[in-house]
Amino acid sequence: CGYPQRARQWHKESVSRALAAEHAHSTAYTLFWNAITAWLLRDRQTVTQYIAEFQAVCDKYKLPFWEALGIAFQAAVLGWEGRPEEGLEKFNQGTEARANNQIIFLLPGFLLMEADLLIDLGRTEDALTTIAEGLDVSSATQEHWCDPELHRVRGELYASLSRDGEAEAAYSDALTIARDQKAKWWELRAAVSLARHWQGQSKTAEARELLGPIYNWFTEGFDTKDLQDAKALLEGLG
């Protein structure tokens, strides 16, 4: 919703409450969802920290349901460490573990993580297939919260293939859905991608007019990568 600092404050309180309760399930639950929020903020260091703590709880108390969910994050961390092939193998283990535990929720977000690994491996067409699968899953399950980001990443993939018209259409879809959902964070990220795309086409004024109002809407979180990227792009646009 565009309030990352408030999310961080809830992080701290939720972890404190879970630890004070000394309840394994609550602790795993809290650490996992905090990792998701850190992932949304592109805070890889914090994701890695939470997932390490999360895995320790799962190992200690034997929590197969939560462990199955955490494998996708372990795969993402391997990718960030420059080991995307190992990450993809780990991700496939997570797919099997989730199936064994009959887990289908959060799959669109997990497929975004898989697409990142495929992108790192240069497998652009496979990444496009994975993004399409994510959109199919969200349509089937009605879990639509990742739809704007799925469309935005599809746009990035099209752009990398010089399919400019399809890239712009995907970015526009991402913006429209984010606005409909009132998901300011996804809206910002989609606007950055589209503005950068227009910058490459010398549509500087249009890019500035799109991104400026969205960036100026924010009142907190200016230390996050997304807002820093938006600010740098605006400065580059003049």
Question: Quick one: CA dihedral 20, 24, 30, 31, positive or negative?
Answer: positive
Which pLDDT band holds residue 108 (cuts at 50, 70, 90)?
very high
Helices 225-237 and 184-200 pack at an angle, to 10 degrees, of 30
Which token pair is 237?
């646009």
Q: How wide is the angle at C-alpha 76 spanned by C-alphas 72 and 82, nearest 5°?
A: 150
pLDDT of residue 182: 97
Structure tokens at 217: 């809407």
Decide: 32 and 70 in contact? Cβ < 8 Å.
Answer: yes
pLDDT in tens, 142-173: 999 999 999 999 999 999 999 999 999 999 99
What is the mean pLDDT of the segment spanning 206-210? 98
DSSP letter assigned to residue 224: S
pLDDT interval class at 12 (50, 70, 90): confident
Q: In whole angstroms, give the CA distance from residue 229 to residue 197.
A: 14
Residues 216 and 14: their CA atoms lie apart, in Å, by 30
For 38-73, give the DSSP string: HHHTT-HHHHHHHHHHHHHHHHHHT-HHHHHHHHHH
- Can you tell me the mean pLDDT for 94-99? 96
Residue 162: predicted pLDDT: 96
Q: Which two tokens stand for residue 72?
A: 């996708």
**One-character DSSP codes across 110-176:** HHHHHHHHHHHTT-HHHHHHHHHHHHHHHHHH---TTHHHHHHHHHHHHHHTT-HHHHHHHHHHHHH
> pTM of the predicted model, to two decimals?
0.95
Question: Judging by beta carbons within 10 Å of its beta carbon (0-12, 13-18, 19+), is residue 200 exposed, middle or buried?
Answer: exposed
Q: Which residues contact 166 (CB under 8 A, 6 or more apart)?
A: 155, 158
